[in-house]
Amino acid sequence: MRRLADATIKKLLPVLLLIGLLAGAGVASAAHGDAKPEKKGILLVAFGTSVAGADVAYQNIEKKVKEAFPGVELRWAYSSMIIRHKLAAEKNAEEHDSPAEALAKMMDEGFTDVVVQPLQTIPGQEFNATAETARAFSGMPKGMKRVVVGMPLLSTTSDLERTAGVLTAMTPKERAAGEAVIFVGHGTHHPANVYYPGLQYYLQKKDKLAFVGTVEGSPTLKDVLAELAQNKVKKAYLVPLLAVAGDHVHNDIAGDGPDSWKSSLTRAGITSVSVLKGTGESDAVVAIWVDHIKAAMEQLGAAQ
């Protein structure tokens, strides 16, 4: 862990130095009343993926964001250091910045107003880490005037109700009566995990055989299996509640390993069908993130 921490510090050192230099330059020249022309931007921050083809979800998100905000420059960042390093080691791989690196570049390129939109499902640890980094750039002398962070997919009661409706409409068309659908998210030990059972509540109001499960949080696989047994379900569809169909989807959910959701359902006598698509591939889901960007843009306008 110490080596990993040291490596992280070394990688971020140029970024931190750049921030310091720009801040110092701002203090020195602020008295001259220099005014920067307004330049708005959007930074989309994803955890990242190294699974071939999974970034089709990111491509769809980018398309919809550009359609909603024509003329506003769009940038990307991956928050996972492991994913960034893995991609950097691949031949001809596109370079991916961390959120801090991306914001430092935008600051150096004269952006004055930036919306940072994390693509998490819930406001957990990953979301809060990105938000903390983003807010550090706001109001920096000679840097960005305003940096506003958009909310994740699920952040309000309205989001829960809306997402439940969207997910219900996303259930496979071939699903028959008596068959269940399970939306499997990442899960976390962070208090924000409560959004998953919250979503379950709204889903159940629309579809009694629609369940929410998580890989690392609650509701657990055991919880969902108990619900399936109680409802005498013999077939279920496994649908990712994740932006991309990455490693968790291909291994923890739909993999052939003994601990995957697919294998666990099979042992319980339940036939499962895995849907290998991230929520970012759904235009209706992406529309919720887009609306959160719009709300953040309104905050930028109100702050001017």
CB-neighbour burial class of residue 233 (10 A; exposed 0-12, middle 13-18, buried 19+): buried
- Residue 132, classed as helix, strand or coil, is helix
CB-neighbour burial class of residue 72 (10 A; exposed 0-12, middle 13-18, buried 19+): middle
250 among known catalytic residues: no
Q: What pLDDT sits at residue 300?
A: 83
Q: What pLDDT sits at residue 187?
A: 96
Q: What pLDDT sits at residue 26?
A: 42
CATH 3.40.50.720 applies to domain 37-153+283-303: no
CB neighbour list of residue 57: distance below 8 Å, 6 or more residues apart: 243, 244, 245, 277, 278, 279, 280, 281
Q: What pLDDT sits at residue 107?
A: 95
CATH classification code of 157-280: 3.40.50.1400
Q: What pLDDT sits at residue 35?
A: 64
Sheet holding 113-118, edge to edge: 73-78, 40-46, 113-118, 146-149
CB-neighbour burial class of residue 105 (10 A; exposed 0-12, middle 13-18, buried 19+): middle
Q: Is the dihedral of CA 150, 154, 160, 164 positive or negative?
A: positive
- Positions of the chain with pLDDT under 50: 1-9, 16-19, 21-33
Q: Which of 32, 85, 96, 186 is catalytic?
A: 186
Cis peptide before 219 (omega within 30 of 0): yes
Determine what percent of the chain falls in helix, strand and coil, rounding each to the nearest 5: 50, 15, 35
How much is the pTM? 0.87
CB neighbour list of residue 130: distance below 8 Å, 6 or more residues apart: 45, 79, 99, 116, 118, 120, 149
Annotated domain spans of the chain: 37-153+283-303, 157-280
